[in-house]
Amino acid sequence: MNAAIRAVVRAAIGRGVEVVGFNHGYQGIIDNESRILESYMVGGIIDRGGTILRTARSKEFMTFDGRKKAIESLAVNECEGLVVIGGDGSLTGALKLHEEFEFAVMGVPGSIDNDISGTDFSIGFDTAVNTAIQAIDRVRDTAYSHERVFVIEVMGRHNGFIALEAGLAGGAEAVLLPEVPYSLLEISNGLRMAAEKGKRSSIIVVAEGAARAGDIKDFIHKNTGFEARAVVLGHMQRGGSPTAFDRVLALRLGALAANRIISGYRGEMVGVDGNKLVSHPLSYVLSAERNIDPDRMILAEVMAQ
Ligand code: F6P
């Protein structure tokens, strides 16, 4: 998100527009935690994960009165538009400001889950996947040497985009996603058959929304007798220095968001389609569901044979 903030600030300043940054997301707007963001203030942050503006969940913003307070605070700060970087919840908030108060908003997709429609990639996904495969590669060394089954749990409460990508890139023997039904009995049988052919170690990647790694590990151990371990990657996937892909994505999307809102476009979210920059109405983005690519799922199964 820092790379996106840097891009918004510098693209806007390049067009002669002043940028105000609010700390702590919508709650910070309500509480007027604002400061002018000069170009130098966003220097040296492109390689830092997270956000220099901090973030927060705001219950108050979920109420109409809270949103009215936010609009008043934006007016006090002479803000004519708002760029919101975030996932589903943040973008829904932006749409509400647009619909209820006709405020000029522009969304930038930021979510490691990559579950936002209207863009092929959300900021943070590539970094999270790369962190996950680094962990999988390291765990595989023990899996191989000690001839064990490892169940690695990655983030994704409602979807399996990280799990599928990390499973493919990490060469997992099975990938479990909340969107796709699976049978632990079949997986256990598969592991047993693979062992009979000489495969003595396996990696199973599971999205947290599909099951807990510990439960799967217990089931597999009970059904196969194989030694098994569970690893939960958790929040380490949400931090760390962003990949080059994520940095450039954030720069392109942040600059596009600033340029479009300055040019008079409103109520949209910027994104990428292939290598092309696009922008769609927030109302469309938030009503369309982003689905797992079935070809990738088939590929994961074929590769696991
Ligand atoms: O929405 C992104 C996400 O990383 C999910 O994949 C994960 O379940 C959740 O956030 C974790 O949220 P929290 O940090 O509030 O526990």
Distance 234 CA to ligand 1 centre (A): 9
pLDDT one-digit tens code per residue, 102-151: 999 999 999 999 999 999 999 999 999 999 999 999 999 999 999 999 99
Domain 128-239 in the same topology as domain 2-124+242-287: yes
Residues 81-85, mean pLDDT to the nearest whole number: 98
Distance 263 CA to ligand 1 centre (A): 34
Which atom of ligand 1 is found nearest the CA of 157?
A: 8
Residues 65-92, mean pLDDT to the nearest whole number: 98
Ligand 1 site, CB within 6 A? 87, 111-113, 155-157, 208, 238
Which atom of ligand 1 is found nearest the CA of 208?
A: 8
Distance 190 CA to ligand 1 centre (A): 31
Q: Which residues fall within 8 angstroms of residue 63, CB to CB, at 6 or more apart?
A: none
The residue annotated as part of the active site, out of 31, 113, 141, 293, is 113
pLDDT one-digit tens code per residue, 220-243: 999 999 999 999 999 999 999 999
Report the DSSP pairing between strands 34-36 and 20-22.
antiparallel
Distance 53 CA to ligand 1 centre (A): 18
Task: Quote the pLDDT of residue 105.
Answer: 98
Residue of the nearest CA to atom 13 in ligand 1?
235
Task: Quote the pLDDT of residue 305.
Answer: 84
Task: Quote the pLDDT of residue 85.
Answer: 98
User: What percent of the chain lies above the pLDDT cut of 90?
Assistant: 99
Per the annotation, the verdict on 88 as an active-site residue is no
Distance 158 CA to ligand 1 centre (A): 10
> How far is 268 from 108, CA to CA, in rounded Å?
9
pLDDT one-digit tens code per residue, 232-275: 999 999 999 999 999 999 999 999 999 999 999 999 999 999 99
Residue of the nearest CA to atom 16 in ligand 1?
235
Which atom of ligand 1 is found nearest the CA of 128?
A: 4
Most informative mutation of 1, 112, 212 for ligand 1 (most atoms within 8 A of CB): 112
For the chain, the structural domain boundaries read: 2-124+242-287, 128-239
Architecture of domain 128-239: 3-Layer(aba) Sandwich (3.40)
Residue of the nearest CA to atom 6 in ligand 1?
156
Residue of the nearest CA to atom 14 in ligand 1?
235
Residues 72-101, mean pLDDT to the nearest whole number: 98
CATH code matching the domain that covers 2-124+242-287, chosen among 1.10.10.410, 3.40.50.450, 3.20.20.100, 3.90.1150.10:
3.40.50.450
pLDDT one-digit tens code per residue, 149-191: 999 999 999 999 999 999 999 999 999 999 999 999 999 999 9
